[in-house]
Amino acid sequence: MTPVLQLAKVTRIHGTDETAVTALCDVDLVVHAGELVAVMGPSGSGKSTLLNLAGGLDTPTSGQVLVRGTDLAGLSPKTLARLRRETLGFVFQDLNLIPSLTAAENVALPLELGGTPARKARGRALGALESVGIVDLADRFPENMSGGQQQRAAIARALIGERELILADEPTGALDSQTGDAVLHVLREKCDAGAAGLLVTHEARHAAWADRVVFLRDGVVIDTTGDPATPDSLLCEPSR
């Protein structure tokens, strides 16, 4: 079966010459439909770089990022934008709800951009808000919502529609633990329903929801038991 996400020998070097930072080095990763994979590692280990590459928001210096077997590097900007809108769901630490839209409008936006009629999109947005426990805030603007409420709306927006690949970068960062658990529950449900998920988290408690945990250190994948990098990957230590 073709994996939903595959990274093949992906290296990402930010900057050039003396300022070059190897954020990821020779990373191989496969995530299948129905799987939730957690990514853990210290700050600066390349977790966000990995997620941005998986979502086509950044391009590798070398190696390939394949979504459903298609190399993202070969897609036109327009096709890549459609893939992001329809196939991928992003949940970032930085909330980017649109301030001039209500919670329901923010959540409905990806569907409307994809051509779903407004009424139907609103109905589904309300369902998504319900699943994260804030349907009563549907008509509020972001400025009238707490950080945690905004984060829940951002999660509802990321998960609405038929997402095949969900990329979550510390999605529970701004949340109290109860809300964080609720969000993980929704993410787990989406994966059980057939989505592939990649979750960056600091919390072992949240990683426990995942089928597998990938540990990164200095841009290199070390195994799930946290063993030191193999000699092979040490050949490729970051140039910092």
**Binding string, residues 11-50; x marks residues near Mg ion by CB under 5 A:** ------------------------------------xx--
Instruction: Choose between 148 and 173: whose C-beta lies nearer to ligand ADP.
Output: 173
Look at residue 46 and give the partner it binds from ligand ADP, Mg ion, none, a contact being a CB closer than 5 to 8 Å depending on partner kind.
Answer: ligand ADP
Number of residues that make up the chain? 240
**Binding string, residues 26-65; x marks residues near ligand ADP by CB under 6 A:** ---------------x-xxxxxxx----------------
The answer to whether 210 contacts ligand ADP (rule: CB under 6 A) is: no
Min dist CB 45 to ligand ADP, Å, is 4
Instruction: Choose between 3 and 60: whose C-beta lies nearer to Mg ion.
Output: 60
Instruction: Choose between 94 and 227: whose C-beta lies nearer to Mg ion.
Output: 94
The rounded distance, in Å, linking the Cα atoms of 135 and 127 is 8
Q: Contact with ligand ADP (CB under 6 A): which of 2, 9, 15, 192?
A: 15
Q: How crowded is residue 44: how many other Cβ atoms within 10 Å of its Cβ? A: 16
The rounded distance, in Å, linking the Cα atoms of 49 and 64 is 14
For ligand ADP, the binding residues (CB under 6 A) are: 14-15, 21, 23, 41, 43-49
